Amino acid sequence: SQNEQDSRYYAAFARIPCLEPRNQQEAYDLTREAFDLSERLHVPVLLRLVTRLSHARAGVRLQAPRAQNPLSKATDKTEWMLLPAYARGRYNALLQKQPELLRWSNSHPTNRLELEGRDTASVVITTGLGGNYYDENVEDLLALRRSQNRSSLPGRLHIGAYPIPQDLVQRLCQQAQEVMVIEEGQPFVEERLRGLLPQGIRIHGKMDGSLPASGELDPDNVRAALSIPTRPRLTVPIPEIPGRPPQLCVGCPHGDSYETIKLAVMGLESVAITSDIGCYALGASSPYEVPETIVCMGASVNMAKGAADAGIRYAIGVIGDSTFLHSGITPLIDAVAANTPMTLVVLDNSIVAMTGCQDTILPSQRLPILIKALGVDPLHVVELEAKRPLIGANAEILKREILYRGLSVVIFKRECIEALKKRKKEASARSIKTPPSCADPTGESVVGGEK
């Protein structure tokens, strides 16, 4: 999300179960469980993944694949017809499921209570990945406590399934004087403990500054929160290394498009350039520094319209072809209806580049047809080739459209460099001739899998 939102709040808000894996194996197993649980309880189940888990890889033990369920329609049509009268009923049905959800979470195997032989006055709650960081420090924590004549580890509850297992929390904290909460993201459990536990129990975590309120947890900041001395560090002299922020690929068509936009708006007063999510978001950084906003898929169009409505004279939205097809069409219809004086620049690289060069849902040739069909004046739907030698000429055409006091759409077209490489590689693989001795005893060549 734009600002590290914690998806557990959405699950609590919707009163649905949430599963929070602490490693790849759990991510695999809990995903399967989530589908089963959803079918059993007729509610969506939220699987919470955090940055470090999503960016790490590990082997997992696979379970046997299962056949797809037979096709069936809902027997109770009120589940899928959210008219007000039904919606009230659905909410009551959801409330009635809450005790079952609590029973499920209190007995869920990922919600593990460790009390036997533990210190019950000072206890710890870990959730998801926070549990791993705690485990990494547990030996040193035990050594520290022994040096303080406290022979055992704190009582501990690890949470991997929500709603918060209230019974387990109450059992953990029966004799507790203080609780440390180690959770990735926002202080979701910590906040709720204040309503669950009697006053007087000291609660430590992100809200009292024991752990950092923003950024990720790691073994070191968890260690500091547990008052374990810092680990000895190796100090290695590192030469000064220049920063290497992410950049557009060399030769990327978006680079030429951004240079064109920069040239086109040069000298204009009252300009707002909004952009969107995709490789072209990198146009916000040096050397281009063109977009002023990048919020969410499709927002460039609404925000340019909003800027124009608010009085910005030259409002320009910049959106990729795939993002436009995903969620830019509806706001463009809005701009058509109002004939908003703005220019939408569509960067058509003919592929979904950022996620690995998948095909777009509409081929490039049909993009201008769609845009005209939405009601944009065909005289102001312009297609330009995003090529370096054409930057000057393209900037003049773009400026003409920016100065036009109505809605215009300018499409910059050129294939993504990575897509081009991929296409050439696939074409060359198809054209490799199979040696006659391997596949073709007749000696005739085999091209593209066909004789």
Please select the residue that binds ligand SF4; options are 192, 223, 254, 413, rule is CB under 6 A: 254
Q: Which residues pair with 317 in a beta bridge?
A: 274, 344
Calpha distance 366→337 (Å, rounded): 22
> Could you tell me which stretch among 68-76, 136-144, 233-241, 245-253 binds ligand SF4 (CB under 6 A)?
245-253
Calpha distance 28→21 (Å, rounded): 9
Task: Name the residue nearer to ligand SF4 (CB basis): 154 or 283.
Answer: 283
Site for ligand SF4 in 334-353 (CB under 6 A): 349, 353
Task: Name the residue nearer to ligand SF4 (CB basis): 279 or 318.
Answer: 279
Q: Which of 182, 179, 177 is nearest to 132 (CA)?
A: 182
Label residue 241 exposed, middle or buried (CB < 10 Å: 0-12, 13-18, 19+): exposed
- Regarding 252 and contact with ligand SF4 (CB under 6 A), the answer is yes
Task: Name the residue nearer to ligand SF4 (CB basis): 172 or 252.
Answer: 252
E strands in 291-370:
293-294, 314-320, 342-348
Calpha distance 259→288 (Å, rounded): 7
Calpha distance 307→233 (Å, rounded): 51
Site for ligand SF4 in 415-434 (CB under 6 A): 416-418
CB of 252 to ligand SF4, least distance (A): 3
- Regarding 413 and contact with ligand SF4 (CB under 6 A), the answer is no
Q: How many residues does this entry show for the chain?
A: 451
CB of 300 to ligand SF4, least distance (A): 16
Calpha distance 117→155 (Å, rounded): 8
AA identity, residue 273:
I
AA identity, residue 180:
M
> Could you tell me which stretch among 168-176, 220-228, 244-252, 437-445 binds ligand SF4 (CB under 6 A)?
244-252
Task: Name the residue nearer to ligand SF4 (CB basis): 109 or 356.
Answer: 356
- Regarding 279 and contact with ligand SF4 (CB under 6 A), the answer is yes
- Residue at token pair 């006091």: 405
CB of 258 to ligand SF4, least distance (A): 11
Q: DSSP string of 119-168? A: EEEEEEEEETTHHHHHHHHHHHHHHHHHHTT--SPEEEEEE-EES--HHH
- Regarding 371 and contact with ligand SF4 (CB under 6 A), the answer is no
- Regarding 16 and contact with ligand SF4 (CB under 6 A), the answer is no
Task: Name the residue nearer to ligand SF4 (CB basis): 376 or 416.
Answer: 416
CB of 348 to ligand SF4, least distance (A): 11
Site for ligand SF4 in 147-186 (CB under 6 A): none
Task: Name the residue nearer to ligand SF4 (CB basis): 58 or 361.
Answer: 361
> Could you tell me which stretch among 33-41, 106-114, 232-240, 413-421 binds ligand SF4 (CB under 6 A)?
413-421
> Could you tell me which stretch among 77-85, 174-182, 358-366, 412-420 binds ligand SF4 (CB under 6 A)?
412-420
Site for ligand SF4 in 22-61 (CB under 6 A): none
CB of 317 to ligand SF4, least distance (A): 18
Task: Name the residue nearer to ligand SF4 (CB basis): 342 or 353.
Answer: 353
> Could you tell me which stretch among 11-19, 248-256, 325-333, 369-377 binds ligand SF4 (CB under 6 A)?
248-256
Calpha distance 420→425 (Å, rounded): 9
Helix axes 24-41, 84-106, angle to 10 degrees: 130
- Regarding 249 and contact with ligand SF4 (CB under 6 A), the answer is yes
Number of residues in contact with ligand SF4 under rule CB under 6 A: 10
> Could you tell me which stretch among 64-72, 162-170, 249-257, 295-303 binds ligand SF4 (CB under 6 A)?
249-257
Task: Name the residue nearer to ligand SF4 (CB basis): 48 or 326.
Answer: 326
Chain-centre distance of CA 384, in angstroms?
Answer: 32
Burial 48-81 (b: 16+ CB within 10 A, else e): bbbeebeeeeeeeeeeeeeeeeeeeeeeeeeeee
For residues 21 and 8, is the Cβ–Cβ distance under 8 A?
Answer: no
Task: Name the residue nearer to ligand SF4 (CB basis): 49 or 390.
Answer: 390
For residues 183 and 9, is the Cβ–Cβ distance under 8 A?
Answer: no
Residue ranges in contact with ligand SF4 by CB under 6 A: 248-249, 252, 254, 279, 349, 353, 416-418
